[in-house]
């Protein structure tokens, strides 16, 4: 399953960043990128996050994003992170950005103005508080 997650995630590379979107090649934000990748490989069912704004983390400390992730995943230690696991970043007042681990520290995520890109967690601009998660069943 981990290989399927990584293979699917890589097919999204260069998809533009568009808030609240989840269409490969057309547009996706960071959370819906992960949700759709996981759904496409059968790791989780369809996730409908409901209405949200891209600026939520700038105005609220409510951990809405983290709450959705925790319906399907559990927190792990950084040292336990494997390909296909998730990193949640606290940016602003709450966790509001996410990435999939390719081979830590290599990640793939959908980033504002850059779209779905490969990056290194060591170089990411969001050097903030972060949590690591594993989908149940992986």
DSSP for 17-79, please give it.
Answer: B-TT-EETTTEE-HHHHHHHHHHHTTSS------S--TTHHHH----HHHHHHHHHEEEE-GG
Query: For 103, which DSSP code?
Result: E
Instruction: Count CB atoms within 10 A of the CB of residue 22.
Output: 22
Percent of the chain with pLDDT over 70: 97
Question: What integer pLDDT is reported at residue 125 of this predicted model?
Answer: 63
pLDDT at 126 over 60: no
Instruction: Count CB atoms within 10 A of the CB of residue 112.
Output: 12
Question: What integer pLDDT is reported at residue 72 of this predicted model?
Answer: 98
Question: What integer pLDDT is reported at residue 53 of this predicted model?
Answer: 80
CATH number, domain at 22? Answer: 3.90.1720.10
Mean model confidence pLDDT for the chain? 93
In this predicted model, what pLDDT tens digit does every residue of 50-91 receive, in sequence order?
888 877 777 888 899 999 999 999 999 999 999 999 999 998
Q: Give the residue from 3, 32, 2 showing the smallest Cα distance to 24.
A: 32
Instruction: Please compute the mean of the pLDDT values over residues 114-122 and round it to a whole number.
Output: 94
Which residue range forms the structural domain that includes residue 100?
2-135
Q: Give the residue from 63, 45, 36 showing the smallest Cα distance to 28.
A: 36
Instruction: Count CB atoms within 10 A of the CB of residue 30.
Output: 22
Question: Which of 126 and 45 is assigned the larger pLDDT?
Answer: 45
Number of folded domains in the chain? 1
Rounded Cα distance, 29 and 80, in Å: 26
pTM: 0.94
In this predicted model, what pLDDT tens digit does every residue of 85-110 receive, in sequence order?
999 999 888 999 999 999 999 999 99
């Amino acid at each position: 399953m981990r290989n399927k997650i990584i293979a699917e995630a890589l097919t999204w590379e260069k998809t533009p960043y568009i808030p609240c979107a989840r269409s490969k090649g057309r547009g996706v934000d960071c959370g819906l990128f992960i949700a759709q990748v996981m759904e496409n490989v059968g790791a989780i069912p369809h996730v409908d996050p409901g209405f949200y704004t891209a600026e939520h983390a700038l105005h609220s400390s409510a951990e809405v994003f983290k709450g959705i992730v925790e319906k399907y995943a559990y927190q792990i230690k950084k040292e336990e992170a494997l390909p296909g696991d998730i990193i949640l970043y606290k940016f602003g007042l709450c966790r509001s950005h996410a990435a999939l681990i390719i081979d830590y520290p290599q990640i793939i995520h959908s980033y504002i103005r850059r779209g779905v890109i490969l990056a290194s967690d060591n170089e990411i601009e969001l050097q903030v508080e972060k949590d690591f998660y594993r989908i149940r069943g992986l």
